[in-house]
């Protein structure tokens, strides 16, 4: 509760756009490589949640965070930490990824995910899959076992099956709550066409994509993102989450980034890659680069947020929505779980 009042005061006093959220201390040129993990569970109109709902989210964010952190702590790779972390969130119906994802205009799940390894710039992604329990696993499989970066639809599913992955029925993903929300939004969209880029979730207008960025003991960065896209989206729509350079990017030389929001604006601005370029070419800090990109997205009419970390384990997040589910943990002991501004 302490946090809530603090953030509420901050929200009134400050414009969030003017206060980049550089939230971890600097950590430059250390001999012992720090490791760190940062996650998000979507951005949107998240404010003053009922205590019981806040608790449930806080616990799940903590579980995801600790799962990935444990991978890093025992010397696992950043990509493996990202994969394990995102799986926890995909398996929870709290987020718009994996089980309990939002539904397209036909009432079907269509999931996207991507992962990128900042050491090699190798990447893998899937788009529009409806029978893969953990799309992030499929993204890893594409990265490691094909000559391709992005596979879509039935082709992606058949490939995963050929590699021994068991497919699940569409019903696995569909929850009663999401069906109700779809009906609500379809009714609402009919009434107000302008409301089409968001959806109502527990009374909260939000983009529930999940993402994770990790820096491992070897100094390698990885980033990943997983989503069900937009509620009531056009069948076949691909957003920014499976697009390397838009929703996900990682480069050991600069940073790792995972985004959430109105994906189309993140594609048009090559959002995650842009952050990397601003750090490389304009020598910006991570958070300043994030702010510049989100500001540009806002100018174009989009909203959302992003998380990231740089090669020195500096962690930053930035969003132009009311809130974003987010958390991080670093090997120097710092840890935070936040939701509001």
User: Which CB atom, from 277 or from 295, has the smaller least distance to its own copies?
Assistant: 277
Cα torsion 219, 77, 324, 108: sign: positive
CB of 210 within 8 A of CB of 223? Answer: no
- Is residue 209 annotated as a catalytic residue, yes or no? yes
Residue 162: how many CB atoms within 10 A of its CB?
10
CB of 206 within 8 A of CB of 262? Answer: no
Binding site residues, its own copies, CB under 8 A: 116, 121-123, 127-128, 146-156, 158-159, 196-197, 233-239, 243-246, 249, 263-264, 267-270, 273-274, 277-278, 281-282, 300
Compute CA 300 distance to the chain's CA centroid, rounded to the nearest angstrom: 21
CB of 246 within 8 A of CB of 231? Answer: no
User: Which CB atom, from 68 or from 124, has the smaller least distance to its own copies?
Assistant: 124
User: Which CB atom, from 113 or from 270, has the smaller least distance to its own copies?
Assistant: 270
Residue 84: how many CB atoms within 10 A of its CB?
21
CB of 226 within 8 A of CB of 113? Answer: yes
Q: How far is the CB of 178 from its own copies (least distance, A)?
A: 19
Q: How far is the CB of 154 from its own copies (least distance, A)?
A: 6
Full strand arrangement of the beta sheet holding 304-310: 21-22, 315-319, 304-310, 255-261, 248-250
User: Which CB atom, from 216 or from 264, has the smaller least distance to its own copies?
Assistant: 264
Q: Retrieve residue 88's tokens.
A: 């926890």
User: Which CB atom, from 291 or from 330, has the smaller least distance to its own copies?
Assistant: 291
Measured CA to CA in angstroms, residue 44 lies from 119, 176, 227, 285 at distances of 32, 22, 15, 25
User: Which CB atom, from 57 or from 159, has the smaller least distance to its own copies?
Assistant: 159
Q: How far is the CB of 321 from its own copies (least distance, A)?
A: 18
Determine the Cα–Cα distance for residues 227 and 211; give it in Å rounded to an integer: 9
**Which position among 67, 79, 85, 209 bears the catalytic label?**
209
Cα torsion 109, 257, 314, 144: sign: positive
Q: How far is the CB of 151 from its own copies (least distance, A)?
A: 5
Q: Which residues does the annotation mark as catalytic? A: 209
């Amino acid at each position: 509760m302490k946090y809530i009042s603090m953030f509420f005061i901050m929200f009134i006093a400050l414009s969030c756009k003017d206060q980049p959220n550089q939230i971890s201390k600097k950590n430059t040129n250390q001999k012992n490589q720090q490791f760190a993990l940062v996650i998000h569970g979507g951005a949107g109109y998240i404010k003053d949640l009922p205590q019981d709902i806040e608790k449930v989210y806080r616990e799940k964010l903590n579980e995801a965070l600790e799962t990935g952190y444990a991978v890093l702590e025992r010397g696992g790779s950043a990509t493996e930490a990202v994969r394990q972390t995102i799986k926890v969130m995909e398996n929870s119906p709290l987020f718009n990824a994996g089980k309990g994802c939002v539904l397209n205009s036909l009432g079907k799940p269509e999931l996207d995910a991507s992962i990128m390894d900042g050491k090699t710039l190798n990447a893998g992604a899937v788009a529009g899959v409806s029978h893969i329990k953990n799309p992030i696993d499929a993204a890893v499989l594409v990265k490691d076992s094909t000559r391709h970066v992005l596979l879509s639809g039935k082709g992606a599913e058949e490939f995963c099956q050929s590699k021994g992955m068991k497919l699940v029925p569409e019903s696995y993903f569909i929850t009663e709550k999401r069906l109700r929300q779809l009906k609500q939004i379809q009714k609402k969209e009919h009434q107000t066409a302008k409301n089409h880029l968001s959806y109502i979730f527990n009374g909260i207008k939000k983009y529930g994509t999940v993402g994770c960025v990790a820096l491992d003991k070897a100094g390698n960065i990885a980033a990943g993102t997983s989503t069900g896209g937009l509620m009531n989206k056009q069948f076949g729509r691909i957003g920014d989450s499976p697009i390397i350079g838009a929703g996900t990017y990682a480069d050991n030389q600069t940073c790792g980034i995972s985004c959430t929001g109105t994906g189309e604006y993140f594609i048009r601005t090559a959002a995650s890659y842009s952050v990397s370029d601003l750090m490389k070419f304009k020598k910006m800090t991570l958070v300043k680069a994030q702010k510049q990109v989100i500001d540009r997205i806002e100018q174009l009419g989009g909203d959302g947020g992003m998380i990231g970390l740089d090669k020195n384990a500096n962690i930053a997040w930035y969003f132009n929505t009311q809130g974003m589910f987010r958390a991080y943990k670093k090997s120097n002991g710092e840890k935070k779980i936040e939701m509001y501004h």
